[in-house]
Amino acid sequence: MVGFQTKLKYCEQIRIFRVISDLEKAKFARLDGRFHCNTYLNSPIILDQTLPLKNKDPNYGFAEQITECEGYVESSAIGLLAGHFAAAEYNHNCSSLPRPATALGTLLNHIGGHLIAEENKQKENPFNQ
């Protein structure tokens, strides 16, 4: 879990986490929260256009901040897209990608560049302004 920054003692942090459903038997790699370091995937290289790993088991999809998407709303939107793509895959349905000019299409472009056509590469990226 990222974002649990606290001054609670380790044993108290573990106790609180264990109250959460499905974390009763979880193993925690690091506690504390005194230092915070975000970890990101190299999304354009390792993720498919619908957010699972390229050339690997499509059952492993990624969403939110680890895909290099910053911000609560943006991360939630990528989570929504990843869920939509996963549901379509599970139900053996085709899922079309959002158009590049839409908010969701722009987010996918930002983290992976999968939707950018060769002729559109010179256009401004709203995230770099």
The predicted pLDDT at position 81 comes to 92
The predicted pLDDT at position 102 comes to 92
pLDDT in tens, 62-109: 888 788 788 889 889 999 999 999 899 889 888 888 988 899 998 888
pLDDT in tens, 19-41: 988 888 888 877 766 556 677 78
Burial class from Cβ neighbours inside 10 Å (0-12, 13-18, 19+) for residue 51 reads buried
- Is the CB of residue 98 less than 8 Å from the CB of residue 104? yes
The predicted pLDDT at position 77 comes to 92
Domains of the chain by residue range: 1-37, 39-128
- Residues present in the chain in total: 129
Dihedral pair phi/psi, residue 47, rounded to 5°: -105, 140
| Model pTM score | 0.58
